[in-house]
Structure 1
């Protein structure tokens, strides 16, 4: 834990599997406090119902030096949730640094809608490292967001506003967006949006044959969206096709290539 040159505080942790586990002694060292203080905070965290012991504590056998001999004992270790919960309560310079880092991270998330650890993503674990790498998951989620209907519509409108014959009021302009959407659906499924809905909407099936929808139950607006009938593999393929097409369209715009709707 340290303050970087630009004034932002950064916390470095070593991950194993999906979380990290630290003993009370290690947490005390992390926050520069006495073990008894850490124990008191953990007791309060569990008694107040902030966390449950079953999900946050695990016993690990460790070998440690006791006097002149090495002894193997099972020691309680606490996961990342508990470690962070202690950080919000402990009073020490390191506890203050932790809260500053946590506030900066939360503030960025609330303002931008995302938080990224650039250095960690640029330097992934290699070999037999136990540190998880979620880079592929991040890319898949970005593709899905970028390929969302509203995002595509807004981006296409921005790009093709540069078209020589672009006129927002023309009926043909709206039809152009619909045509693009149909072509993208056809590229991955062999069907237009209307054909997909006609082929897969089925009242006899669970959820009308939908594979995704907003809310807890199917509504009228859900059954008229072709993407809601796609399988996970088809959604992934559609996202890739949409992203490739957007890359091409954006490249044309950056190179000032004149385009026409007609």
Structure 2
């Protein structure tokens, strides 16, 4: 089983908390965790699980996942393959042992899944809206270049520069998409000094870009002080150490914070 999110389940009776694995749109427990949850013996839980599959109540291939875990046994670290059981199995075992705690766990787990589905839908809907807007902007830019070219308003070098801007824009969209999906890796480009950009220098750089791209007042128009706040957050230190994990990749962080937070 791939690495998934861990959610803590703790009942009202003050029993030890259980680390519940959340992944593949369900929750997972080991047999040992079910013993703790239902307060039953290993033999009892094992028998019920065996009967569930023997009676074809559930399909084992879709409700059981294996994960390699490292356990400490004395002075040795031993790797063992542990079976995890989905919520369907957990609920079925709970019915068979007639556990009140099983009912509480089912209610808790269903709420977790419901929140996940709602939040996941909202996040995906927002991403789709953002991507739709980006595609619309790109289409408009391409149409503009085509119209300009047809009217012979640009010479060859100017046309090359315009296409380079479009290429850079498409690349930026791709980088942001990889960042959203946590697939972005650091690109090593040789040694870099400890360069840090301050707020005033950043605004000067934006002014230079504004002139380069036609001088529109809409370009780089900061809507509030959030850009200044983002720079402060990135370079914030304590006892000489940078607090932000983005300290060594601050340029990357500035781009993402500006784009994703709609600073301009």
- TM-score bucket (shorter structure): 0.3 to 0.5
Which structure has more RCO (C-alpha within 8 Å, separation ≥ 6)? 1
> What is the TM-score with the length of structure 2 in the denominator?
0.34
> What is the TM-score with the length of structure 1 in the denominator?
0.35
